[in-house]
Amino acid sequence: MPDPIEVRKIPIESVTDASGLARLIDDGVLDADRVLAVVGKTEGNGGVNDYTRLLADRAFREVLLDRGTRTPDEVARVPLVWSGGTDGVLSPHATVFATVDPASAPRSDEPRLSVGVAMSDVIRPEDIGRPAMVETVAAGVREAMKAAGIDDPADVHYVQTKTPLLTLDTINDAKSRGHGVVTEDTLKSMDISNSTTALGIAVALGEIEPPSAERIHKDLSLYSSVASCSSGVELDRAQIVVVGNVRGVGGRYRAGHGVMKDALDADGIWDAVRSAGVDLPERPHPSDLGDRLVNVFIKCEADPSGSVRGRRNIMLDDSDVHWHRQIKACVGGVAASVTGDPAVFVSVAAVHQGPSGGGTVAAIADLG
């Protein structure tokens, strides 16, 4: 049986601020050596050259090194999944997952939060967007499920990943070895890396059969209902965090999930909160949450039809502001209006992550 989980959301007050993590450790809430993973939003542009992710990564790893006893190599293997871009009202923050001593956690036979992490094998640049990457990610997800003590894929409610995208250097590396790449547009490769990873998650959880190359990033009927995938320049393999529930593990927290059918689907967020064990009235209000909601984790995508609920929008035609930033700000506002808190995790590029034009939603609740 894995150890129970403590999970806390902390603000990030500046680009290199990790003081919230340091306080949790100094106050005895978390043990630095028991931190399993961090999932956070940084304030950069969310693009290929968003170096706020690297700055946050360094700051948080320095705290883990300074406050703990793990070696630099051990700390380097802790998944820190940073999603860049806090457009609109979104606020930079991090959600920290750590194990705790079972003797210090409430006992319960009810499903309670369990987290497993894994690092996949290296993903070569020529494999991004192709079946080989699907297979590599699927193997990593199965490893993370095992670490979480989860046998039934139905008990998985959230899989957060960070994978490499293509850069000029990695494109040239592939070419130097006689290989082509799926695209030479580095920004487009972010979306493709995310979507391919999502299919790997779906395969691991039995949601779909392994897809052919022709269906990757094209057949929008294929998706995972629990995948949340980000990509960046700071790694060469998949960092995988599997979040689910296990009976008997104990602790105060529980995970749930749902999907947003489109960018305005607040009910999809409420469904995820209910799935996490929070009792709500038929027409809930943020005040009904109290302090029970730790965080929600949402993927979003501009609808390829160019409309939402029958009304035309110009996100996909706008040459001034990329649609990544527009849809993120939109869904961030919807999510914040539900939770009453702008520090929510909203990430863009959601192909194969929930229904087309919508996205996955995971929620973690503190059941006390």
Cβ proximity of 131 and 51 under 8 Å: no
State the 10-residue block means of pLDDT for the chain, 368 residues long: 97 98 98 98 93 96 98 96 96 98 93 97 98 98 98 98 96 98 96 97 98 98 97 91 97 98 98 98 97 98 97 97 97 98 97 98 97
The C-alpha angle 302, 295, 1, rounded to 5 degrees, equals: 115
**CATH 3.30.1330.180 location in the chain:** 112-243
Is residue 239 part of an annotated ligand binding site?
A: no
Per-residue model confidence as pLDDT tens digits over 301-313 = 999 999 999 999 9
The class of domain 112-243 in CATH terms is: alpha beta
Paired strand residues for 111? 247
Protein fold of 252-366 = 60s Ribosomal Protein L30; Chain: A; (3.30.1330)
- 162 in catalytic set: yes
What would the CATH number be for the domain defined by 5-103?
3.30.1330.170
Is residue 337 part of an annotated ligand binding site?
A: no
Is residue 4 part of an annotated ligand binding site?
A: no
Residue 206: predicted pLDDT: 98
Is residue 353 part of an annotated ligand binding site?
A: yes
Per-residue model confidence as pLDDT tens digits over 93-144 = 999 999 999 999 999 999 999 999 999 999 999 999 999 999 999 999 999 9
Is residue 332 part of an annotated ligand binding site?
A: no
**CATH 3.30.1330.170 location in the chain:** 5-103
DSSP string of 72-134? Answer: HHHHHTS-EEEEE---TT---EEEEEEE--GGGS---SSEEEEEEEEEEEE--GGGTTSHHHH
Residue 234: predicted pLDDT: 80
Is residue 358 part of an annotated ligand binding site?
A: yes
- 193 in catalytic set: no
Q: Which of 162, 189, 193, 224 is catalytic?
A: 162
CA distance 238 to 142: 13
**CATH 3.30.1330.160 location in the chain:** 252-366
User: What stretch of H or E contains 363?
Assistant: strand 359-366
Q: What is the DSSP letter of 345?
A: E
pTM listed for this prediction: 0.96
Nearest alpha-carbon partner for 354 in 229, 214, 192, 267: 229
CA distance 314 to 319: 10
Cα 53 from chain centre: 14
Q: Which of 9, 230, 275, 299 is catalytic?
A: 230
CA distance 97 to 144: 14
